[in-house]
A and B are shown apart, each in its own frame.
Chain A
């Protein structure tokens, strides 16, 4: 790798570059090292300015092996001239590797690990978005179905914004929050799912129980069943949202407008983003569970309730009463609309959902007769 320059070559080159006789050049070089030797003899150390220092070092006696005879021999204590280059020389010689710096091995392994995990995270993210999305939201609907409490309505209502947030920002923190939330929902959903399986009569009894007071107390009763049905209905739009991966901003601003009873008109609604009927219903009526009405009014658009094509204009039927205080006519309409939804689900092969909606429709019918 490194080639050797003989002393004569060195002398010749030095003589030529300085216009000296070779003799003088040799004298000069030899003279420098002679002085070094003199110094070493005198002080045990010497130096050549901006080159390096020489030092006489004691080497302790040791045993070695004669490489030729393989005999063990004693190497007596002796002195040795050692050379230590000065910083300037070291730096110049090491120029090709000047950029390299010592690294702590502990740190290095850490950074490697974090880099790897970061990659893994990135790879996992899309999966997490898709797979648990479908799996998880299904149990999530069941949860709503079974919970039958206004609390769960709020939970579900808040879920969609959380879903879309990570997709927009794609920040690690947000996605992790999202993943945790999804897992939470999945866990509770599965729990409720098993609850339901073991106790199928539960819902009906609760529904019946809710209907009984509805007959006795008109005002309160009408409020209770809607929330209950809301719970049931929300689950479907929730899935429809996830199925079509729809994201919408839910604004409550339209609530006030929609709660005013309006005459029987159809108002046109242009779907802005990937909205699903649940969202639209909430925007238009102030209550998401009235979405079957929209579906009924627009059933020509799409047979599958889960699919709402963007850029479509939806006809929004108005209510007799208000969304929080439905009249019997509204219930009748809702029953009809829900039946349609059920049929649509049956057509699209979602028999479970179809059953649920036929049950809900039956309930609405009972309400309309009371």
Chain B
């Protein structure tokens, strides 16, 4: 499902025009991005949580140069699925 399809479905559910929905969609994504870049984690119920964290520099073997490389620290986005989402795709053992 691509973006236009998503927006079409969303607009039907929210009873909004597709243009409005697209605007909302874009601004929602930019809101998420902004929060993550400001170190603000957020969670979506029954789905999971997003957060950003700093990955410290680490050494790794670079097969191209055949040498060890030092990879610098980086801020990365982390996602953790919620247990509800996990259960959704796995048969719950009773």
Contacts and interface: CB of A to CB of B under 8 A. Distances in A.
Genuine A/B complex: yes
Interface of A: 1-7, 10, 13-14, 17-18, 20, 24, 27-33, 35-41, 46, 48-52, 54, 56, 76, 78-83, 85, 88-90, 92-97, 100-108
Nearest to A36: B47
B1 A5 contact: no
A50 B29 contact: yes
A89 B33 contact: yes
Contact of B69 (A17, A31, A102): A102
Contact of A49 (B3, B40, B42, B45): B3
B77 to A, nearest CB: 4
Which interface class (under 10, 10 to 19, 20 to 34, 35 or more) fits B? 35 or more
B69 A103 contact: yes
A4 B42 contact: yes
Contacts of A5: 35, 40-42
A41 B1 CA distance: 12
B51 to A, nearest CB: 6
A28 B31 contact: no
Contact of A105 (B2, B23, B32, B68): B68
A105 B41 contact: no
A56 B88 CA distance: 11
B86 A78 contact: yes
Contacts of A46: 1
A27 B16 CA distance: 12
Interface string B62-75: 10010111111111
B10 A56 contact: no
B79 A82 contact: yes
B27 to A, nearest CB: 7
B67 A105 contact: yes
Interface of B: 1-3, 6, 9-10, 13-14, 21, 23-29, 31-33, 35-37, 39-45, 47-54, 59, 62, 65, 67-79, 81, 85-86, 88-90, 93
Nearest to B53: A2
A145 B13 CA distance: 108
Given A81-B89, A108-B70, 11 more contacts: A2-B41, A4-B49, A28-B25, A29-B44, A35-B10, A52-B79, A93-B37, A93-B76, A95-B75, A103-B70, A105-B69
Given A18-B24, A83-B79, A85-B77, A51 B70 contact: no
Contacts of A29: 28, 44
B29 A105 contact: no
A27 B14 contact: yes
Contacts of B89: 40-41, 56, 78-81
Contacts of B29: 48-51
Q: Which 6 residue pairs across A and B have the least CB separation, nearest first?
A: A83-B79, A100-B72, A2-B39, A49-B3, A105-B68, A85-B77
Q: From A38, A81, A104, name the one whose CB has the most chain B CB atoms within 10 angstroms.
A: A81
Contact of B68 (A24, A56, A97, A106): A106
A115 B40 CA distance: 42
A10 B77 contact: no
A169 B69 CA distance: 39
User: Which residue among A3, A27, A32 has the maximum number of chain B CB atoms within 10 Å of its CB?
Assistant: A32
A103 B70 CA distance: 5
Contact of A100 (B3, B68, B73, B90): B73
Given A81-B81, A90-B76, A3 B43 contact: no
16 contacts: A1-B54, A4-B40, A18-B24, A28-B10, A30-B44, A37-B88, A38-B1, A49-B29, A76-B93, A81-B89, A89-B77, A92-B37, A93-B33, A100-B74, A102-B70, A103-B70
